Amino acid sequence: MKILRLILGDQLNSNHSWFKNTDDEILYVLMEVKQETNYVLHHAQKILAIFAAMRDFKSALAKENHQVIYFKINEKSNQQSFKLNLNTLFTQHKIQKFEYLEPDEYRLDHDLKEFCAEISIPSECFSSEHFYTHRTEVNEMFTDKKQWLMESFYRYMRKRHNVLMSEDGKPVGSKWNFDHENRKSWKGEPKVFEDHRLAHDHSELWNEITEAKIKSFGNHNASKFRWPLNRKEALKHLDFFIQHILIYFGDFQDAMHKDETRMFHSLISFALNTKMLSPKEVVSAVEKSYLSNQISINTAEGFIRQIIGWREYIRGYYWAHMPAFGEQNYFSHQLPVPNWFWNGKTKMNCLKYTINQSLDEAYAHHIQRLMVVGNFSLLVGINPKSLHEWYLGIYIDAFEWVEMPNTLGMSQFADGGKLASKPYVSTANYINKMSNYCEGCHYSKSERLGDKACPFNSLYWNFFITKAGQLSKNPRLAIVNKQIRDMDPNLIKDIQSQAKKIIKNIEDI
């Protein structure tokens, strides 16, 4: 039977059971299509990284004697659509069955199911063999529960997979969570390692992308491109991180610094989310490092929680709440994304450094995304769906299943608190504590009112004042709500006036 198997750009798992044996009756197809480059505006490096990795994956399959068809972005035969290209291949190669791996995005999952219902040949969907959990496992776990709690899921995962567990069934270190020990600011020591990742020259590929008139933004950096091409490079990078950098990750995972973009973060999320790396092998490697006394328990637990806990939980949350989740807007925020989100031209140092870093590297770590960009966006009232599309486009590791819940739920509280139990917002004080962004800023971190006052300060209080009807009963906000009740009415007026002025002149801050 002649079978055609589709591989998507985030399904580059060379260890998948599909590839254990070769068969001349099985054809694999990978496609660079405008359908995928154009549904949101993407960072240039994201397009480059996925296309380059797909091409490398195709070559690796061919070397293993698999039969591979590949559509480059500017080929005349490329109809720029999965469905159109697949239908053509069905006819050309007399295909008798179509197979594909579970897409991780609802949009593609829906499209491929619809396509399979339309075609006249049999079809079958297979697991991507990547995640710890299946799509519906998280939803099934919380079916009869009043509230979803990631911590409950995380403990369940630790026990089920015997990760950082002692023989008596208790967590190693006698605690499940060491998050409070992982919040140190960084003052220049220990030194940050030079970027050791292999540099590639993707100039020719970039020329193909521009010739195909693919729209993008950000610095393409095609001649010195450092994101991994394949599993071999990703494994080498992971090993270096564990051997040399991981020891510092726990203490400084929330720290930010204007002169250091990578800090002590792993930068493996692109390789993980394209399936070059398996989450199980990452967790195993980190646990092994702890058991061999190379890293502390707070470092091991903090890193593993992100993989076995949050990453799997977010995926399950996504599939349980789609497609309605993407349209949620609890606060009815409608402000468009400011123009300077696309060029970094703002006088606010924290946003200037974070956004310019994102434009230059297609990367920012979780606190920059949550407590700088996300914090500001929620306080001023940016439309959450528009912000989601910006996040999805700008970050190299952003695929909808992981990015949308983090943006709409965790960052923007657009689901009304189903994912995050309180809005993650702050004044300038938190940003100053965790970074040196406030040094030399046009605005003063200590002032609440006036032309030089940091916008975060009035925006923070204005947010809770104006959202009191929706947030005043939240038990986690009892202190801030009491502070507002005790606040001088004239000060409240001044704060609201200041915040209104900032939002009105958002393009000029």
Which structural domain, as residue segments, surrounds residue 286? Answer: 137-197+230-321
Are residues 400 and 308 part of one domain?
no
Average pLDDT over residues 100-110: 97
CA distances from 61 to 16, 51, 56, 231, 495 (A): 12, 15, 9, 13, 61
CA distances from 124 to 90, 112, 215 (A): 15, 10, 34
Number of separate domains in the chain: 3
Are residues 417 and 283 part of one domain?
no
pLDDT-derived band at 101, boundaries 50, 70, 90: very high
CA distances from 207 to 43, 226, 286, 496 (A): 15, 18, 39, 50
User: How many other C-beta atoms lie within 10 A of the C-beta of residue 168?
Assistant: 5
Do residues 265 and 361 make contact, with C-beta atoms less than 8 angstroms apart?
Answer: no
Instruction: Judge whether 388 lies within some domain.
Output: yes
293: left (phi over 0), alpha (psi -120 to 50) or beta: left
| Bridge partners, 29 (sequence order) | 6, 69
Are residues 162 and 261 part of one domain?
yes
Are residues 160 and 120 part of one domain?
no
pLDDT, tens digit, 9 for 90 and up, residues 162-213: 999 998 889 998 889 887 766 788 888 899 898 889 999 999 999 999 999 9
Instruction: Identify the CA nearest to 395 among candidates 82, 50, 106.
Output: 50
Report if pTM > 0.75: yes
Do residues 66 and 26 make contact, with C-beta atoms less than 8 angstroms apart?
Answer: yes
- Residue 484, token pair as written in the block: 């507002």
Are residues 57 and 148 part of one domain?
no
Are residues 364 and 267 part of one domain?
no
- Residue 169, token pair as written in the block: 């069934």
Q: What is the pLDDT of residue 180?
A: 73
Are residues 490 and 422 part of one domain?
yes
DSSP reduced 3-state for 94 = coil
Q: What is the pLDDT of residue 281?
A: 97
Q: CATH number for the domain including 357?
A: 1.10.579.10
Instruction: Judge whether 68 lies within some domain.
Output: yes
Are residues 159 and 101 part of one domain?
no
Gap between the Cα atoms of 462 and 500, Å rounded: 9
Average pLDDT over residues 249-267: 90
pLDDT-derived band at 144, boundaries 50, 70, 90: confident
Percent of the chain scoring above 90 in pLDDT: 88
pLDDT, tens digit, 9 for 90 and up, residues 75-98: 999 999 999 999 999 999 999 999
Looking at residue 171, the DSSP 8-state letter turns out to be B
Q: What is the pLDDT of residue 181?
A: 67
pLDDT, tens digit, 9 for 90 and up, residues 411-456: 999 999 988 989 999 999 999 999 999 999 999 999 999 999 999 9
Instruction: Judge whether 329 lies within some domain.
Output: no
Instruction: Judge whether 207 lies within some domain.
Output: no
Q: What is the pLDDT of residue 388?
A: 98
Are residues 187 and 111 part of one domain?
no
Instruction: Judge whether 246 lies within some domain.
Output: yes
Q: CATH number for the domain including 34?
A: 3.40.50.620
Q: CATH number for the domain including 244?
A: 1.25.40.80
